[in-house]
A and B are shown apart, each in its own frame.
Chain A
Amino acid sequence: MDLARSTARVGTGPAPIRSRRPLAPFASLAGRLVLAVVFAAAGWPKLLDPDGTVRSVRAFRLVPEALVPAFGYGLPVLELALARLLLVGLLTRWSAAAAGVLLVMFMIGIAAAWARGLAIECGCFGSTSGPVVDPTRGYALDLLRDAALLLVAGFLVVRPRSPLSLDARLGL
């Protein structure tokens, strides 16, 4: 191993892109942006409607009532914070891991509601033409979407390095 390359590796700048997988960092950048946009889009309307968010949390019947308001008020702040961290690429591995935890939480919530036959919206419950309108399609799509996002988050945890990130700038 020649000396030049080994000293290059111990510098305080960003790690050199491995020549074996030149695409991974760009995939990570894409992953960061996708998650950032999704979490911002999820968190912003929740932030604007705190009472509605608390009711939504309550509707899933998974969090004890005493914690429902804290959850409902705090969740959008967390989502937006994660979106911002992922956007600028700061603490990418941790943000992606936290995003993954939230996604798992959402998936559990949706799966539980589906299994228990809860209907969380207007119209899912009751139809004038007969028995309960089946919310299966909505729940299935939501689970698929969250699973895909979970894969993205997982990838980011394993490959957090990407260009245009504060992590790279700060040498983290």
Chain B
Amino acid sequence: MTNARTVKSAREKAAEMRAEAARKETRRRSILVTVVVAVVLVVAVGVTVVVRQAQHDDAVAAAQAPAGTPRNVGANFGIATGPATTSAGKPRVVVDMYEDFQCPICKEFEAADGAALKSWQQAGIVQLVYHPVAFLDRESTTNYSTRALDAAASVQDSSPGSFQAFHDLLYTNQPAEGSDGLTDAKLADLAAQAGADRATVASDLGAQRFQAWTVQATDAFSQKYTGTPTVLVDGKQQQSMDPASLKAAVAAAAAAKGLPAPK
């Protein structure tokens, strides 16, 4: 009887020791694997962040080089298509519009309000300032947003008087989301149709001359706004794009500046 009990407890003790050793071994292995994976992860993330940041900084530098920045572009990456003052020297109501050429709601906005806005500019009431940005590259397979903006920058740089027409053509010819977008050749054709020099625009597009600038413009936009279209009337962000509200907002701003009411 005693023998059986001693044998059993010896076996139990041996089993316990094996269990203890196994547990320790498992714990050691577990810690080792965890540490290795954690280190690899930290290094991977760290390297990625450092490299991307450096690439970004290079892009900033490239955009600031004279050849990389389009001429005739104002502060806040704004492209004005009319004068800031009336013929009498009075300051006009400024309408800032942040748009993406791939954005379908921007196209709707242009269709609904574009003509009215242009007529108010003609009438000497407003100054239209476009801030095209490119954050919808994921909606095309060929970074259409960026290429369209690149082309627009090229048009503004070489032939500022053609920008308004080119801008309008880009919206009437807007490609569907998820498609390849318009080709560089097509963009150059539209630029020529708007009055710019086709060869210049085609060459700028091919060289992606203003690509870094498009990144800067879009980043600056993302610091303040999160969606498009974003429309400001004399600095006040509009909550509604419908023609009546827009007209009311412009009328109020015009009245405040002693300008005639928009029709």
Residues of A within 8 A of B (CB): 3, 6-7, 9-12, 45, 49-52, 54-55, 58-59, 61, 65, 69-70, 73-74, 77-78, 81, 85, 90-91, 94, 118-133, 170-172
Interface SS, B side:
helix
Q: Does B108 contact A (CB under 8 A)?
A: yes
A30 to chain B, nearest CB (A): 23
Which of B15, B106, B218, B227 interacts with A51 by CB under 8 Å? B218
Residues of B within 8 A of A (CB): 11, 15, 18-19, 22, 25-26, 29-30, 33-34, 37, 41, 44-45, 48-49, 52-53, 55-56, 100, 102-106, 108-109, 111-113, 135-138, 215, 218-219, 222-223, 226-231, 238-243
**In the bound complex, do residue B240 and residue A130 qualify as a contact, i.e. CB atoms below 8 Å apart?**
yes
In the complex, what residue of chain A is closest to B139 when comparing beta carbons? A122
In the complex, what residue of chain A is closest to B135 when comparing beta carbons? A55
Q: Which residues of A contact B242 (CB under 8 A)?
A: 127-130
Question: Given A11-B22, A51-B215, A74-B49, is A59 in contact with B226 using a C-beta cutoff of 8 Å?
Answer: yes
Question: Given A52-B138, A81-B44, is A125 in contact with B226 using a C-beta cutoff of 8 Å?
Answer: yes
Which of A50, A74, A119, A170 interacts with B226 by CB under 8 Å? A119
B144 to chain A, nearest CB (A): 13
**In the bound complex, do residue B138 and residue A131 qualify as a contact, i.e. CB atoms below 8 Å apart?**
no
Question: Given A91-B33, A172-B33, is A55 in contact with B45 using a C-beta cutoff of 8 Å?
Answer: no
A132 to chain B, nearest CB (A): 6
B37 to chain A, nearest CB (A): 6
**In the bound complex, do residue B227 and residue A119 qualify as a contact, i.e. CB atoms below 8 Å apart?**
yes
**In the bound complex, do residue A122 and residue B104 qualify as a contact, i.e. CB atoms below 8 Å apart?**
yes
- Tell me the complex Cα distance, A9–B15, Å: 10
Q: A122-B228, A132-B239 are in contact. List 18 more A-B contacts (CB 8 A).
A: A3-B15, A7-B15, A10-B19, A11-B22, A12-B26, A50-B52, A52-B137, A69-B49, A69-B53, A70-B49, A74-B48, A77-B45, A81-B44, A119-B226, A122-B103, A126-B241, A127-B105, A128-B113
- Tell me the complex Cα distance, A133–B19, Å: 63
In the complex, what residue of chain B is closest to A128 when comparing beta carbons? B112
Question: Given A51-B218, A59-B222, A128-B111, is A123 in contact with B105 using a C-beta cutoff of 8 Å?
Answer: yes
